[in-house]
Amino acid sequence: MPKLKTHRGAKKRFKVTATGKIKRRRANKSHLLTGKPSKRTRRLRQATLVSESDFKNIKRLLPYS
């Protein structure tokens, strides 16, 4: 079977943890931040894990990680 190519966009957006979970950055932190409360923007700084419904599809985009 031939080697699989990694999806380059996914490689830049996701990191795989040591236990095999996938970390992602939170949305809504790029612009229009003045209208969002400080509490919300602080919460958006923390990375989070990919949901179980998306996990299978993203794992397919990152075959060797």
Q: Is residue 52 part of a domain?
A: yes
Question: Quick check: is 1 in a domain?
Answer: no
Q: Is the sign of the CA dihedral 32, 33, 37, 41 positive or negative?
A: positive
Q: What is the CATH number of the domain that holds 48?
A: 4.10.410.60
**Has residue 13 been placed in a domain?**
yes
Q: CA 43 → CA 7, 34, 38, distances in Å?
A: 28, 15, 9
Give yes or no for residue 57 having a pLDDT over 90. Answer: yes
Quote the pLDDT of residue 6.
Answer: 97
2 within a domain of the structure (yes/no): no
Residue 3 lies in a domain: no
Per the structure, the complete domain to which residue 51 belongs is given by 8-61
What is the mean predicted confidence (pLDDT) over 1-17? 96
The number of distinct structural domains making up the chain is 1
Q: Mind listing the pLDDT tens digit for each residue in 21-55?
A: 999 999 999 999 999 999 999 999 999 999 999 99
Q: What is the per-residue pLDDT for 46?
A: 97
* pLDDT surpassing 90 at residue 65: no
Indicate whether 22 belongs to any domain.
yes
